[in-house]
Amino acid sequence: EGFGGRGNDFSGKRVGVIGTGATGVQVIQEVAKTADQLYVFQLAPEWCAPLKNGPLDQAEMDDIKANYTKIFAECNETFGAFHHKFDERSALEVSAEEREAFFEKKYDEPGFGIWLANFRDIMTDRAANDLITEFIAKKIRQRVKDPKTAEALIPKDHGFGTRRVPMETKYFECYNQDNVTLVNLKETPIEEIVPEGVKCSDQTYDLDIIIYATGFDAVTGSLKRIDVTGKGGQKLVDKWANGPRTLLGMQTVGFPNLFTLVGPHNGATFCNIPRCIEQNVEWVTDLIAHMKDKGLHQVEPTLEAEDAWTQHVDETAERTLFPSADSWFMGVNLNDPTKKRTFMLYAGGQMDYKARANEIAEKGYEGFAMS
């Protein structure tokens, strides 16, 4: 069928996938269905959880369409603008039996509930995070038959949710198939790509296809590649060499009239982007209309306002467990070891972000210099 595009049939092929992040997980669970042999080259495992996607019958679809306004309004009242709300209880205040039942329920629900509708403190309290981390580890051991493979698929360097959680569909079950082999690059690192395939320290894997799921320079990479030039010839890539500095994640000093929608430090980054980019667009549109009404043509933040927002972003992140993990949230990119480790998103939630953005607008766009 035309809408679905071409199918992907790897029959008769020996396939290697390098990388087990969000992209790798999605690729692996599909390639494993048809490949004669799939080798997964893993440097670092991730805490994956079931997505539980499924077909919607017509009655469900009709009900959703009839309630779009209500659903969108409810999304506007949640941390990440998803149809998920954190439970107001602490993971530490309920009994072990109640907590286990709650975790099981969230694990079986569709969507991001296991991450964004869990107990309120799993992302801020180490002891609470340890509990959900242990639960997810147990699930991996239950789903992967070979104990050694299961342990290799369990992260040991960060807690659940402190990095992006790849959502999966029978990902771990792939490793129970005879045609799937996990190659642990911590034990046998890749030495080079050769005509035959991938050469690791212990052997060469003969392959017909190599799929590189090695990630990209998240959040700031695309902006830096544009070669944006500001006042006095200053390059955006140079200004952000030690990490982004912004006001509301919308603008940065020295680059007038440049709006970085869903950019670093913006409330739409750790968020349901289709919902949160609406706020970005409406806010910037209102700002432009305000300038037009007053005959103004140029806008950029003041240095004081930029410093204050950047400090607020850092302080908000420090109240969470995100800084405890090396991730693209923290600007960590193994392909760019020179990149400074600093929080790139906004951890205050979309409701807090909207309130702060609205307050700035109501005060005549306080912190923005216009001329």
CATH code for the domain in which residue 250 is found: 3.50.50.60
For residues 181 and 294, membership in a common domain is answered with no
For residues 340 and 237, membership in a common domain is answered with yes
Q: Provide CB contacts within 8 A for 189, sequence distance 6+.
A: 200, 201
pLDDT tens, per residue, the chain with 371 residues: 456 667 789 999 999 999 999 999 999 999 999 999 999 999 999 999 999 998 999 999 999 999 999 999 999 999 999 999 999 999 999 999 999 999 999 999 999 999 999 999 999 999 999 999 999 999 999 999 999 999 999 999 999 999 999 999 999 999 999 999 999 999 999 999 999 999 999 999 999 999 999 988 899 999 989 999 999 999 999 999 999 999 999 999 999 999 999 999 999 999 999 999 999 999 999 999 999 999 999 999 999 999 999 999 999 999 999 999 999 999 998 888 888 899 999 999 999 999 999 999 999 999 999 99
Is residue 155, in this structure, part of any structural domain at all? Answer: no
Predicted local confidence at residue 3, as pLDDT: 62
For residues 183 and 309, membership in a common domain is answered with no
For residues 7 and 86, membership in a common domain is answered with no
For residues 189 and 274, membership in a common domain is answered with no
For residues 226 and 324, membership in a common domain is answered with yes
How many structural domains does the chain have? Answer: 3
Give the structural domain span for 15: 1-46+166-215
Asked which of 215, 234, 254 is the last residue of a domain, the reply is 215
Is residue 153, in this structure, part of any structural domain at all? Answer: no
For residues 201 and 234, membership in a common domain is answered with no
For residues 363 and 287, membership in a common domain is answered with yes
For residues 225 and 339, membership in a common domain is answered with yes
Q: How far apart are CA 126 and CA 322, in angstroms?
A: 11
Instruction: Tell me whether strands 190-194 and 49-50 are parallel, antiparallel or unpaired.
Output: unpaired
Is residue 24, in this structure, part of any structural domain at all? Answer: yes
Q: Tokens standing for 134?
A: 């242990």
Predicted local confidence at residue 4, as pLDDT: 65
For residues 1 and 122, membership in a common domain is answered with no
Residue showing tokens 């480790």 = 341
Asked which of 146, 176, 194 is the last residue of a domain, the reply is 146
Is residue 160, in this structure, part of any structural domain at all? Answer: no
Q: How far apart are CA 302 and CA 40, in angstroms?
A: 49
Is residue 285, in this structure, part of any structural domain at all? Answer: yes
Is residue 151, in this structure, part of any structural domain at all? Answer: no
For residues 136 and 171, membership in a common domain is answered with no
Predicted local confidence at residue 2, as pLDDT: 59
For residues 97 and 246, membership in a common domain is answered with no
Is residue 156, in this structure, part of any structural domain at all? Answer: no
Whole-prediction pTM = 0.93
Asked which of 215, 243, 274 is the last residue of a domain, the reply is 215
Closest Cα partner for 269 from 363, 370, 344, 172? Answer: 344
Predicted local confidence at residue 1, as pLDDT: 47
Q: Hey, which residues does 301 pair with through a beta bridge?
A: 368
Is residue 227, in this structure, part of any structural domain at all? Answer: yes
